[in-house]
Amino acid sequence: MSLKFISLSSGSSGNSYYLGNDRVSFIIDAGIGVRTIKKRLAEYNVDAGKVDFILVTHDHSDHIRHLAALSERLMKPVVATQKLFNSIEVHPHTLGGVKSFRKIIEKEKPYHFKGISVTAFEVPHDATENLGYYIDFLGERFTIVTDLGHVTQKVIDFCRISNHVVIESNYDCGMLEGGKYPRYLIDRIRGGLGHLSNDETAAAIRLMYHQGLRNIFLCHLSDNNNTPELAYNTSHNVLRQLGVSPGNNLNLYCLPRKSHRCHIL
């Protein structure tokens, strides 16, 4: 059975991803509407009603805006830590929280379901709690870190045992500094609990690269302070320095900000 990774939306306007095959599947975050999620999945012959659960990375609106609605409409459990559930209950976009369908997990304690293993781990970002996920999907190892202010050794360690990595490449330093954002927002983005620059992501790739790595997906590109070309080229150059030829030894992709794309892993 082929394993599909579908980026349903990736960026400040909304984030949501799908990972699954015909036997088991889940959605990561729900920052876009339920109808959009169902429609985009259907374009790749995926029935949203057969999704098993929904993972949450953190409680910023572009990741959870439609979380409660998606869980209720699909009648599927949300998987998150107790700290995140507490935040979701009082968040203005999910007021009242996830009422009926929830599975509480703890960081760095694997959650097992239908033969897959999902391990949440902490990554630095200015949310109530911010999680990356390491997923062993029937032998295919997958790490996703969507929003992080700086790269920790834990992030590198999980990426170094993964075949597929989704990692933020949010902004170009020159565009951010020369753009129209006010100083306080620039400082927040660059301050260690905001987002990763293209250069920081490339430096992380240098540390995480190993011969078993087959796909790198650059996510959460800024609309205002980045371009897919800049993000791709910065990481591409580091890979070439390592003697790796993207497209041959491994695949390097920029995930679209406002559209969707399916990858067979």
Domain count of the fold of the chain: 1
Q: Listing from the earlier edge strand, what are the strands of the sheet with 16-20?
A: 102-104, 78-80, 53-55, 25-28, 16-20, 4-9, 261-264
How many other C-beta atoms lie within 10 A of the C-beta of residue 104?
Answer: 13
| 185-236 residue pLDDT tens | 999 999 999 999 999 999 999 999 999 999 999 999 999 999 999 999 999 9
pLDDT of residue 25: 98
pLDDT of residue 96: 76
Find the helix packing angle between 34-42 and 67-74, rounded to 10°: 60
Task: Please determine, for residue 97, whether its predicted confidence score (pLDDT) is greater than 80.
Answer: no
| 42-94 residue pLDDT tens | 999 999 999 999 999 999 999 999 999 999 999 999 999 999 999 999 988 88
Q: What is the CA radius of gyration of the chain?
A: 17
Confidence band for 101, pLDDT divided at 50, 70 and 90: confident
Contact 58, 94 (CB under 8 A): no
Q: The domain containing residue 50 runs over which residues? A: 4-264
Contact 147, 219 (CB under 8 A): no
Query: What residues are paired with 27 via a beta bridge?
Result: 18, 54
Angle, CA 192 vertex, CA 228 and CA 66 arms, to 5°: 65
Q: What is the CATH number of the domain that holds 253?
A: 3.60.15.10
Q: Beta strand 25-28 with 53-55: parallel, antiparallel or unpaired?
A: parallel
| 6-53 residue pLDDT tens | 999 999 999 999 999 999 999 999 999 999 999 999 999 999 999 999
CA 24 to chain centre: 19
DSSP states along 209-263: --TT--EEEEE---SSS--HHHHHHHHHHHHHHTT--BTTTBEEEEPPSSS-EEE
Give the amino acid at 164. H
Measuring CA to CA, which residue among 65, 55, 61, 72 is closest to residue 17? 55
pLDDT of residue 2: 87
How many other C-beta atoms lie within 10 A of the C-beta of residue 81?
Answer: 18
Confidence band for 249, pLDDT divided at 50, 70 and 90: confident
192: left (phi over 0), alpha (psi -120 to 50) or beta: left
Looking at residues 179-187, what average pLDDT do you find?
96
Q: pTM here?
A: 0.96
Contact 87, 129 (CB under 8 A): yes
Task: Please determine, for residue 238, whether its predicted confidence score (pLDDT) is greater than 90.
Answer: yes
